[in-house]
Amino acid sequence: MESMPEERRLLPADYRGLEAELETLPYNTIIKLYHAHQCQRQAQRESIIKNIDEQKEAIYQFMDWSKMCSHKTALRKLFQNSHQAIKEARASLTRFHEKIKESKHQQVALIKEIEDIRRDINTSSATKNKLEQYVNKYSETYTFFLENVTHLDQDFNSVQEVLNRYEALENSRVECSTILRDELDESIELKKEMLKIVEEKSTVLRKLDNSLVMLQIRQKQVKEHMMHWEHNLERIRIRMSATIQESQELTNGCYDLYINMCRRKKMTPTINIDDIENQLKFIQKTILFYKDVIRIATSVRQDQLLILKSKQHKKKISMIKNLLDAPNLKESI
């Protein structure tokens, strides 16, 4: 152990290891060492490959590799089947657990029912014993009572007749109770029908009340409309009376104007007082005639009046003079 540090101490200070020593060797020596190392590695590789080939040959000799695909397919199928079986087994196992839980619950329920039945059996047996005690206790008394009944009442000759009469009365009671129950059911049904009818009638009455309210509202609206129309009719009557009065005044004025025009023309009135249309036509024609006359009279000069003094125009000239002499002619037109 002490020689190693001494050898290290003998090495130079600038020693850099095996690589530095190889660098100090000649170039040919380095190449030879490299080739020797490569040959060694190649020999090792060849020996390993040879061993692998020998092992493969040995394996091929003992195994038939031609059926490898079929074995692989069969193995895959077996694996899939086993996987499916495991899934089904899990589902079955879950169902089995559920069935076990249900059976446990049912077992607990059955145990409770068994206990209840045992309790009922004990109760019924106790009741049976009590009934037997009561029968044994009161059988002689009831037998004596029934025998006394047969002796006291001549309608019964034996105890069996008393029992038969009791059975008949019991049957009658049952029949009466059945009849009463049926009648009660019928009365309940009748009550239901009556309630239904009352509800329907109440609904109808409510509808009638609503209809009455609507009719009252409509009556009020009709009254308001009637008052409105009566007011309008009153206004129309007033307007009609005023219009009739105006039309009467217009008729009278028109007839008066017609009479005045007839007087001025010195004509006899031939149109009836009610024939306003013809009166207006006559007045219109007369006014147009007067307008023409005034236009002619104002347009014709004084010197042209001498030319018109002929036999054909004497009548018209005299009429024009009369018109011109009338001071209020223009005002009346």
Average confidence (pLDDT) over 161-185: 86
Any domain includes 96: yes
Burial class of residue 282 (count of CB atoms within 10 Å of its CB; 0-12, 13-18, 19+): buried
pLDDT number for residue 14: 52
Mind listing the pLDDT tens digit for each residue in 222-236?
999 899 888 899 999
Average confidence (pLDDT) over 297-320: 57
pLDDT number for residue 2: 39
Any domain includes 267: no
Tell me the whole-structure pTM to 2 decimals: 0.29
pLDDT number for residue 310: 52
d(CA 150, CA 166): 13
Average confidence (pLDDT) over 147-167: 72
Q: Find the range with the poorest average confidence among 109-118, 234-243, 321-330.
A: 321-330
d(CA 302, CA 284): 29
d(CA 172, CA 26): 146
Any domain includes 292: no
Any domain includes 85: yes
Dihedral pair phi/psi, residue 26, rounded to 5°:
-70, 160
pLDDT number for residue 30: 60
Number of domains composing the chain: 1
pLDDT number for residue 215: 92
Any domain includes 40: yes
Any domain includes 36: yes
d(CA 298, CA 292): 10
Any domain includes 80: yes
Mind listing the pLDDT tens digit for each residue in 260-294?
888 887 778 887 877 878 888 888 888 888 887 77
Mind listing the pLDDT tens digit for each residue in 87-113?
777 777 777 778 778 878 888 888 888
Domain containing residue 41:
23-121
Any domain includes 166: no
3-class DSSP string for the chain:
CCHHHHHHHHCCCCCCCHHHHHHHCCHHHHHHHHHHHHHHHHHHHHHHHHHHHHHHHHHHHHCCHHHHHHHHHHHHHHHHHHHHHHHHHHHHHHHHHHHHHHHHHHHHHHHHHHHHHHHHHHHHHHHHHHHHHHHHHHHHHHHHHHHHHHHHCCCCCCHHHHHHHHHHHHHHHHHHHHHHHHHHHHHHHHHHHHHHHHHHHHHHHHHHHHHHHHHHHHHHHHHHHHHHHHHHHHHHHHHHHHHHHHHHHHHHHHHHHHHHHHHHHCCCCCCCCCCHHHHHHHHHHHHHHHHHHHHHHHHCCCHHHCCCCCCCCHHHHHHHHHHHHCCCHHHHC
Which of 15-19, 50-54, 181-185 has the highest mean predicted lDDT (pLDDT)?
181-185
Can you read off the two tokens belonging to residue 264?
């001025």
